[in-house]
Structures are given as structure tokens and as C-alpha cells.
Amino acid sequence: MTSLLQRKRRKPIVASVVVLAVAAAALAGWAYLQWAVEPAVGLITKTDTNPFFIKMAEGAESSARLKHLRLLKAAGRSDGDHESQVVALKSMIDAGVRAVLITPNDAKAIVPELQKARDKGVLVIALDSPTDPPQAVDATFGTNNFEAGRLVGGYAKGLMKAREPKIAMLDAFAGHAVGTQRHNGFLVGMGLGAASLATAEAVKSDAVVCTADTYGDKEKGREGMARCLREHPEINLVYTLNEPVAAGARLALAAAGRGNVPIVSIDGGCQGVRDVASGSIAATAQQYPLSMATEGVASAAEYIRSGRKPARFIDTQAILITDAPQPGVDSRNTRFGLSACWG
């Protein structure tokens, strides 16, 4: 009798489990179907290891989910790896993406491939790094890198006061569009040159006693700074392309007993802002990769929905971060910088 009752009671339970399992399978199938039919957009960054591009990818993923888009991601193996980006772009086009967001490793060489994508009706948006020419893409979302350089240059000019500057500039590499714009902006901010944002060549100045190509790398920054100090021990100001390079430069300065030489930089990552707070870097120009990606994906969604393209250039700002402000130079402190940093 007990066994019979147990079997009768078990039947509704088993039936409920079956119903739930069928429902779960149906929901999973629907979720997959929805994912499969969602319009696809692509994100191709310079690398997938730099905190700047990691934060950019996070912004793109979040925005894509909100806009019901399927995000395909790829990256170069290292800064400057153009070939991997070309392969990724071709693969994404074959996969049927409706838009591609890219931070080009080679501003010129990528142009023919981008044009092929645009010829197929794919919206192409540059993030952070403009193409050469800028018209090779439908729009660019990024920092005005010339302005970011000008901000730290203006700050450095105030910092130097009446002292004659003997500058080491630790740049990216020849032909690097972002690096050139930052370099030129810095010199203009220092009052050492007149240059246009569109200037393709790095501006030269007698005040710059040494330059080094660092590829944005900390160790190359250390090596470049060490060489500059050997050749020009009179250096009294250092500009760096980004904060990892600044960290490498600080190591070389400390090893040479020149820890009092100020460094200005650009990017605004969390470690960079902490280096400003500690005094390792005097000031940095903070930029916002999350905004670049979020706004870029939102514009891609609008294009897919209505065919409307965004404006040619959307400035996502640069703000000077320092705890030692200079008169007449707009800046925010490191408390603000840490609230808005990435990495």
C-alpha cells in the first residue's frame, strides 16, 4: 500500500520535472535563436592585454548587450601588429557584421581594407586612433590627442617657470598617428612650435635634446630614458607617450640619481593616476576608452536601425590630472582621476 501511494505521489513530481526541463530547453533554444539573429558588430583593438583596450572591450560588450547586438572581438598580438587586424577584419566581414569598430595599428596600411568593408555597406568607426586620412572611416570616436598633448605641454611650461627646458621625449614610433599628435600638441603647449592636428610629421625643437621610440612599452621607456641621460645628462623635463613608458622612465631617472626630474604623460589609467598621486608623474591627461566604445556601439546600433551615420569626429574628452596645479591651467585632482580611471 505504501509503495503504491509513493508511486502515485511521484507521478506529478516527475511530470513537473519534465515540464520544467522542456521549458528550460525551449528558453535556451530561444536565447540561442535570438543571439543568432541579432545584428553583428565587430571590435578590433590594437591588443587585448593593454588595460586601455580591455576597458574599451568592456564598454563595447555592455553597450552591445543593451542594444541587442552580437559583438565579435579580435585584437592584434601587439601594438603595431597590422597583419592580425587585417585577418580579423576580413573574417568579420565574411561573418556578416553590419559595423566594425577598430583602433588601427597602422593608420595608413589599413585604409584599403577599410574601404572594402565600406563598399559592402559596413559602417566603419575608428576608436581612439584616427586613420590616415581620417576620411577613410565613417566616423572617429576618441580623444583629441593633439589637445591631450597640449594640456600636458601647457602644464609643463608652467612647471618649468623661468628655467630653460632640456626635454627628453619618449614617443611611440615614426608614423604613429596618435604618437605624432600627442608629440606635436605637447610642444605647442610648451610654446615651442606651431602645428596643426593634421600634421603628419613630428615637430622638432631645439629644446628637445633627446627622443626615443618606445612603442608604448615600459621596458623600452626605461631603456630610452637611460640612453638619453647618458647622452644628455642636462635633461630637466620628460614627456612620455603613455604612463607605462613614464614608469620605465622613472626607473631610469632613479637609477641615475635624477629622481627630481618631472615627467608628464597621457592616458589616465588607474596605475598612472596612482603614479601622479605618489609624485612619480607630475601630471597626466586622462582619456576615456569606455566612452569611446559605448558611444561607438550606440552609433552602430543607430546606423543598423535607421541608416543614419554619426558625425565625422566625436571628441570623448581629455582632462588634466594633477595634485600640483599650475596657474591658468585647468586640471582636476587625483581623487577625481581615480573615480574615472580604467585598468
Q: What is the DSSP letter of 332?
A: B
Is the peptide bond preceding residue 310 cis, with omega within 30 degrees of 0?
A: no
Q: What distance in Å separates the CA atoms of residue 50 and residue 31, rounded to the nearest whole number?
A: 32
DSSP conformation class of 342: -
Where in the chain are the domains? 38-143+299-311, 145-286+320-339
Burial class (CB in 10 A: 0-12, 13-18, 19+), 84: middle
- As a whole number, the mean pLDDT across the chain is 90
Radius of gyration of the chain (CA): 25
When the candidates are 3.40.50.2300, 3.20.20.70, 3.40.1710.10, 2.30.30.40, the CATH number that belongs to 38-143+299-311 is: 3.40.50.2300
For 66-80, how does the pLDDT look when each residue is reduced to its tens digit (9 = 90+)?
A: 999 999 999 999 888
The pLDDT of residue 337 is above 70: yes
For the structural domain made of 145-286+320-339, what CATH number should be given? 3.40.50.2300
269, 51 in Cβ contact below 8 A? yes
Query: What is the pLDDT confidence band of residue 29, given thresholds at 50, 70 and 90?
Result: very low
Q: What's the whole-model pTM score?
A: 0.80
Q: Does 38-143+299-311 match 145-286+320-339 in CATH topology?
A: yes
Kindly report, residue by residue over 129-146, the tens digit of the pLDDT.
899 899 999 999 999 999
Give residue 33's pLDDT band: very low, low, confident or very high (50, 70, 90).
Answer: very low
3-state SS class at 73: strand
Q: How far is CA 122 from CA 60, 131, 137, in A?
A: 17, 16, 10
pLDDT digits (tens, 9 = 90+) for 143-193: 999 999 999 999 999 999 999 999 999 999 988 888 999 999 999 999 998
Distance CA 301, CA 290 (A): 17
CA distance 267 to 273: 9
Per the CB < 8 A criterion, the answer to whether 284 and 264 are in contact is: yes
| pLDDT over 60 at 241, yes or no | yes
| Confidence (pLDDT) at 79 | 80
From residue 91, alpha-carbon distances to 41, 100, 131, 219 in Å are 12, 11, 20, 34
Between 233 and 6, whose confidence is greater? 233
